[in-house]
Amino acid sequence: GEDVEQSLFLSVREGDSSVINCTYTDSSSTYLYWYKQEPGAGLQLLTYIFSNMDMKQDQRLTVLLNKKDKHLSLRIADTQTGDSAIYFCAESIRQAGTALIFGKGTTLSVSS
């Protein structure tokens, strides 16, 4: 069945780059997403990538997709303390209205 796996924790220093990794199992994924969850808040869509793309850049965020290895990564450049949160990788595998399959989330801790 479908599964999305992420490492649980990442700790970086302010100003460094953070790279959060995700692997997924379903090769028919259409869209892959990164969501951010701050304490007590909902899931905020950070960015998404369509499965026929290799890379997407959006300001400090770079998403890399390796379809062969079913590996997705999120790079945050110049990480700030405000980036501390839980980051969820998610995939959707069918057409409109489909469910998202989430990973367990990676807790990013940024120290000053």
Partner 1 sequence: EPEVTQTPSHQVTQMGQEVILRCVPISNHLYFYWYRQILGQKVEFLVSFYNNEISEKSEIFDDQFSVERPDGSNFTLKIRSTKLEDSAMYFCASSESGTYGYTFGSGTRLTVV
Query: Which residues of the shown chain bind partner 1 in the complex (CB under 8 A)?
Result: 4, 30-31, 33, 35, 40-45, 48, 88, 90, 92, 95-105
Q: Which is nearer to partner 1, 43 or 64 (CB)?
A: 43
The tokens of 11 are what?
A: 């700790």
Q: Which is nearer to partner 1, 8 or 77 (CB)?
A: 8
Q: Are 43 and 88 in contact (CB under 8 A)?
A: yes
Q: What is the DSSP string of 40-55?
A: T--EEEEEEEETT-SE
Give me the least distance between CB of 112 and partner 1, in Å please.
27
Q: Using CA atoms, how far apart are residues 69 and 108, in angstroms rounded to an integer?
A: 24
Give me the least distance between CB of 60 and partner 1, in Å please.
19
Q: Which is nearer to partner 1, 42 or 112 (CB)?
A: 42
